[in-house]
């Protein structure tokens, strides 16, 4: 098993980075859609259209991409024995945070579909900065490895 994963290592890493890109794209798109969605009247045809779009982003991009990033990331950690390395532990903490943020997005999507508008457009735009900030820190950790 480990021999096969070692051989596949460069492909695992290439696929990992690709699905990270898809995941981040979904994390940036969905809150932006929430902002425009909230400007539509509850129950209107536009409201229903946004609900359908958000459902597609969640089921086609966000949830599969997050799952695949985790599976490939943990496979890479197994192949490179990264478990006890400081950069990896810090990275994992940030990625668990990103996964929690996605959980919150899914709850907010359900609230919007139920007709609630819990946060202002401004608050949603500010929250939308979080994945970007996390991505900067994660990439610095995994490429620069500021601490072993
Ligand atoms: C979901 C949990 C994740 C785990 C368990 C994980 C784990 C790993 C591991 C072990 C490596 C290989 C490092 C090596 O080659 O020695 C790696 C590479 C990488 N990861 Fe992740 N990762 C995860 C999520 C992410 C996320 C969310 C991002 C970006 C936002 C990311 C960006 C990268 C990049 C850019 C590389 C390539 C680094 C290089 O080639 O030097 N990873 N990841």
Q: For 134-147, what is each residue's pLDDT tens digit?
A: 999 999 999 999 98
Q: Which pLDDT score, from 0 to 100, does residue 74 have?
A: 96
Using the predicted structure, report yes or no on whether residue 11 has a pLDDT greater than 90. yes
30 close to ligand 1 (CB < 6 Angstrom) = no
Of the CA atoms within 13 Å of residue 30, those in its CB half-sphere come to 31
Characterize 8-43 residue by residue with b for buried, 16 or more Cβ atoms within 10 angstroms of its Cβ, and e for exposed.
eeeebbebbeebbebbbebbebbbebbbebbebeee
When pLDDT is averaged across residues 93-116 and rounded to a whole number, the result is 97
Arithmetic mean of pLDDT over the chain: 95
Ligand 1 center from residue 83 Cα (angstroms) = 12
The CB of 13 under 6 Å from ligand 1? The reply is yes
Residue 10 Cα, ligand 1 centroid: separation in angstroms?
12
- Residues 63-86: what's their mean pLDDT? 96
95 lines ligand 1 (CB under 6 A): yes
Q: Lowest-confidence range among 4-13, 31-40, 58-67, 69-78?
A: 4-13
Query: For ligand 1, what atom is nearest to the CA of residue 9?
Result: 15
Residue 2 is predicted with a pLDDT of: 73
């Amino acid at each position: 098993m480990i021999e096969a994963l070692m051989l596949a290592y460069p492909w695992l890493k290439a696929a990992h980075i690709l699905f990270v890109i898809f995941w981040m794209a979904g994390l940036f798109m969905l809150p932006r859609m929430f902002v425009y969605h909230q400007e539509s009247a509850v129950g209107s045809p536009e409201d229903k259209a946004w609900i359908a779009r958000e459902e597609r982003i969640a089921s086609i991009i966000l949830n599969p991409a997050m799952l695949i990033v985790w599976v490939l990331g943990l496979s890479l950690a197994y192949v490179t024995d990264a478990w006890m390395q400081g950069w990896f532990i810090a990275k994992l903490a940030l990625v668990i945070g990103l996964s929690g943020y996605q959980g919150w997005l899914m709850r907010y999507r359900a609230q919007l579909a139920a007709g609630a508008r819990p946060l202002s457009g401004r608050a949603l735009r500010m929250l939308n900065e979080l994945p970007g900030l996390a991505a900067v820190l994660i990439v610095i950790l995994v490429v620069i490895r500021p601490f072993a």
